[in-house]
Structure 1
């Protein structure tokens, strides 16, 4: 597998460094034949090349089998004419990574107020209310006057169909329960279509139980008892917010893995931001990025029918669980280690299990 690695901004270089160490350990144990090519994007690229996405980077990624993207300072990138391109958006759109898969689950030794749960949010990734990806050229926010702004939301049948299919296929490997999250009481046409299409797709999966909730009610229900849910499918903005909530309810946003997948390519990406306030202090939790790496290996192994990649993914997830049980983790989830030492602990567990 040819893998492009982009460390990102803030805590990205620290968490990506230990994740690369873990991938090397998995490569050695399972004979994956990983070929990792390192590149830059974000602030480092902006300083070096005058743009967050250098010429040739997209071609480099397209000629690979997968991408590991570290957290980016996306909020600071506001003017594309000045080279300030949102790398996350850039790759999602240009590689058509329409499905953002974000699992969240509790661990026995991670402090949380919740009863045990294990769910996944399946978020549409390429349209919705996101103004930077809704039109062919320009931006879908319109400054009508200095006091009036209109923001357009795009919902299409194609995007609804393929995210619904992704959710139902995933549900078939889990508890066979899909929850549709929407705001059809207000966005009657767009979210009405989204609900209808999800039910249409669901007819091909008769074993799956389907229910639906308005997004504001869903937030309250998840905050009260996330264990009632399994596979949640929703549109872009609702999924963005809801998946951050579910990750934090599990004990820490630093536990939240994320896979951005299309039909022929996938990108592992930490679910959290670049956290510049804790950068370079050796305290950042690397498990979000490691879990994303595990998801990428699993995706690739499934698509290419390579069981040793799936086994490597499972071994990494098991090592993370064992580290959490042993409290060999960063302080945010009850451990005493720094970022680097946490990575070393995962590497040892992978090596000793061989």
Structure 2
């Protein structure tokens, strides 16, 4: 028996989890459950991360969490327990598989266009770092972190997964045409990894174009890998292609801990009514069983689900309305009654279980991910983000008085658009500028030089934030303003 942690969740969570576990037990899946306390009611008891210390210890010991949907209290300044769990345990790859399910009618199923898309979304970084500040009363800042080690970890997983499922194509969705440094780094790592997988066709698509192509020709795509926010949006788009979030499974994969969950919400409006659709959580459970090597159990139950759907059996949220819908419990019982039956389309082969041994990790310190430093790093300037409601020329005249003998004022921008030394009076301004200083004649700078300029500038301005301008070898490690 393999022991896993189970969190039933909030809203409809307990109902759909009970239904799925009932199916597992009926199939004699060799699992043992340790139920852990996570979710809104745990927040309400004063645990700011949405889980009890005992729950965290259990999950970190067992390495597998099977969870229902969870609610984050609104207006209490706390972070999402779902995001916290993924980030705390470094489940860096969010894998979501979207397949045509016969019996779940969509525009594409009616047109006879099959869909089998796996989205692999980065799960830790990007704007989901949640590092935000108000720079002025009018201007909010969110920092977007894209790292080389984090991107490498995710993209290697995506290529390995695509290779194992015998995919033909892997596509990187990105916005590197605009976010040249952050998305540019992600895309660069994608093609670095692609060199090790010549059997896969590796290509990239700008994310807005990707969305258009997905809703017109989804059958052209196989595996798609994206950064966190873009992956979140695109994976929900793909759920819509196959019938909605009620049919969208999710696996959060890490080196030590993995989380399997449905991606839909808690649906409080129907909680307690025993009418929720457990399919998404059940599909997520198949991913968990296969991850644990329980291939035969996964295939038997999945074939029963597919057969059940083919027969037109459904819950109230989908299916042929002329056929009476079943409640959650009845739907689970129908699947159990169809064990051993095989659907006409999409049947899963009964593979032998893989020999796996549950591994218990005990880390003594936080793993540090750092790539080799291959380029000389040099400070060549600084960006100061200042608060001011003055005109650009006035700000420029004040800044130049502080430049001294080491710095020169290069440009001033507002919301990323250059407004000095050139610009347009038709550019609307807000009360936060970026003033950029660079070294004169490539004079070598150090942090003390920058701090000296900071102190001098603070005599005229409130400095909201600052960033060093770096050269990595012969490459600028900072972006230019629009129009610079």
The offset of 1:183, in angstroms, is: 0.4
**Cross-structure match for 1:146:** 137
CA contact (8 A) 1:2 1:65 kept: no
Which residue of structure 1 aligns with residue 83 of structure 2? Answer: 89
Aligned to 1:215, which of 207, 231, 240?
207
Aligned residue for 2:208, secondary structure, equals helix
Give, in whole Å, the separation in 1 of the partners of 2:86 and 2:75.
16
Moved over 4 A (4+): 48-51, 351-354
Pick which of 43-52 and 260-269 moved more: 43-52
Contact kept? 1:179, 1:232, Cα under 8 Å: yes
| Deviation (angstroms), 1:151 | 0.7
Task: Check the 8 A contact 1:5/1:67 in 2, yes or no.
Answer: yes
> Contact 2:304–2:340 at 8 Å: present in 1 too?
no
Structure 2's unaligned 5+ residue stretches are 343-349, 351-484
For 1:59, the equivalent position in structure 2 comes to: 57
Q: Is residue 121–residue 225 contact of structure 2 (8 Å, CA) maintained in 1?
A: yes
Partner of 2:333: 344
1:224 counterpart residue number: 216
What is the count of residue pairs matched by the alignment?
A: 332
1:45 to 38, 42, 45: 42
For 2:287, the equivalent position in structure 1 comes to 295
Cα displacement string for residues 313-350 of structure 1 (whole angstroms, at most 9, x for unaligned residues):
22222222111101222122206111111111222223
Larger RCO (CA under 8 A, 6+ residues apart) = 1
Question: CA 1:166/1:77 → structure 2, altered by over 3 Å: closer, same or farther?
Answer: farther
Show structure 1 runs of 5+ residues with no match: 133-139, 302-308
Residue 318 of structure 1 corresponds to: 303
TM-score, structure 1 as length reference:
0.89
Change in CA separation of 1:210 and 1:75 when aligned onto 2, cut-off 3 Å: farther
Say if 1:129 and 1:237, in contact at 8 Å, map to a contact too: yes
For structure 1, which segment, 65-74 or 179-188, has the greater mean C-alpha deviation from structure 2 after superposition? 65-74
Normalized per residue, the structure richer in strand is: 2
CA distance in 1, matches of 2:269, 2:215: 27
Q: RMSD value over aligned CA atoms?
A: 1.9
Residue deviations 1:189-248 (CA, integer Å, cap 9, x gap):
111111111111111111000111111111111011111100000010111111111111
1:163 to 2:154 alignment = yes
Q: Which has the higher helix share?
A: 1
Tell me the distance in 2 between the aligned counterparts of 1:315 and 1:77: 44
- Return the alpha-carbon distance in structure 1 between the equivalents of residues 47 and 237 of structure 2: 35
The change in CA–CA distance for 1:191 and 1:50 in structure 2 (over 3 A counts) is closer
In structure 2, the residue matched to 1:242 is 234
Cα gap change, 1:77 to 1:204, in 2 (>3 Å): farther
Q: 1: CA distance between counterparts of 2:63 and 2:341? A: 28
Match of 2:5 in 1: 4
Cα distance in 1 for residues equivalent to 2:21 and 2:127: 34
Deviation at 1:23, TM superposition (A): 1.9
Q: Please state whether the residue corresponding to 1:240 is helix, strand or coil.
A: helix
Aligned to 2:266: 274
Aligned partners of 2:288, 2:87: CA distance in 1, in Å?
A: 18
3-state DSSP class of the match of 2:107? Answer: coil
Q: Aligned residue for 2:92?
A: 98
Q: Determine if contact 1:174/1:230 at 8 Å carries over to the other structure.
A: no
Task: Give the CA deviation at 1:144.
Answer: 1.0
CA 1:117–1:77 in 2, change beyond 3 Å: closer, same or farther?
farther
Instruction: Report the CA distance shift for 1:75/1:229 in structure 2 as closer, same or farther (over 3 A).
Output: farther
* Offset of residue 284 of structure 1: 1.5
Cα deviation, 1:110-140, whole Å, max 9, x if unaligned, reads 11012221111000101111143xxxxxxx1
The corresponding residue for 2:107 is 113
* Aligned residues of 2:171 and 2:204 also touching (Cα < 8 A): yes
Whole-Å separation in 1 of the counterparts to 2:34 and 2:228? 30
Relative distance call for 1:263 and 1:244 in structure 2 (3 A) is same
Whether the 8 Å CA contact 2:93–2:157 is kept in 1: the answer is yes
